[in-house]
Amino acid sequence: MIHVYIFIDGDKDTALTNDILEGLIEEEEEEERGEGDGEGEDDDDSWITPDNYQSVCDGIGGLMEETIDEISVGCMTTDYAMQNVLLQIGLNVVSIDGMLIKRIRTYSQQCKACFKVYFKSGLLFCPNCGNKSMIKVLADVGKDGLTHYSSLSDKQFSHKGLRYSLPLPKGGRRPDQLLLSPAQRLTFRLPRSRNKSHPLDPDYISQTSPFSFNDVTSRGAQIAFRAGGGRGRVGVAWHRNPNQVRKKRK
């Protein structure tokens, strides 16, 4: 909001009015300076500088201040499995930043159908029951040595598309294959050597640029064949009967 003040030369009353207006203008200028200084401080606090780097790292890591006894010996390692073993033995574990580690988070996979737990990551199907129901869980080892598992999200698996039979396998250059088991092998074409990305290629940046000319209408582009995708779809999720004969477009 902009205020316009008019000064009038005249008798004592007008002079008094001018003094009041001058005071108001000075107060508004001071307020604007204060607001400007506050905005500058906020902008400076939002940036990560060498002065506030350690405080930002402490806030991200979720460090907690607590009084502990003096520690004379500690083990330093970046192997999470070894850190868990050292904590269970009762030794002091120190991070590479010099912080004392009191608790370690480890993740595993659990089948939501048979509740079997696997410490191997990247599983799509459960090796025990064969269902595609693997979720990521947090494994916490207590003081008693027992492992407690807690789910990170309440994921609900969709049952849509299970009322129709599987379609017949189709060959060709770009088959739409279904991945139904971990032992199933999918056939796909390997990229040509000249199409492989090379960091020293002058067109290396334009390959991922949104302003480059890309084919978005062909079937190969729709299933991301050139980008390395389209190598199989995990599970079945048919919203309509895939075996139904449809009329061809003219």
**pTM score > 0.75 for this model?**
no
pLDDT digits (tens, 9 = 90+) for 231-250: 455 655 556 677 777 777 76
Which DSSP category does 143 fall into?
T
pLDDT digits (tens, 9 = 90+) for 58-85: 666 555 555 667 778 889 988 888 888 8
Count CA within 13 A, CB hemisphere, residue 231: 12
How many Å apart are CA 221 and CA 202, to the nearest integer? Answer: 23
pLDDT digits (tens, 9 = 90+) for 13-58: 555 555 665 666 677 777 666 655 555 455 555 788 888 877 777 6
In angstroms, what CA-CA distances link 245 with 20, 124, 240, 241, 242? 87, 32, 12, 9, 8
- Arithmetic mean of pLDDT over the chain: 70
Task: Identify which of 125, 151, 147 has the alpha carbon closest to the alpha carbon of residue 136.
Answer: 151
pLDDT reported for residue 243? 72
Task: Identify which of 157, 132, 161 has the alpha carbon closest to the alpha carbon of residue 237.
Answer: 161
pLDDT digits (tens, 9 = 90+) for 2-13: 454 444 444 445
228 contacts 208 by C-beta, under 8 angstroms: no
Helical ranges in the chain per DSSP H:
12-46, 53-61, 80-89, 219-222
The length of the chain is 250
Is residue 162 pLDDT above 80, yes or no? no
Sketch the domain layout of the chain as residue ranges.
Answer: 1-47, 75-151
Q: Which residues make Cβ contacts (< 8 Å) with residue 177, sequence separation at least 6?
A: 169, 186, 187, 231, 232, 233
Sheet holding 134-141, edge to edge: 117-118, 106-111, 134-141, 147-151
The token pair at 30 is 């001071």
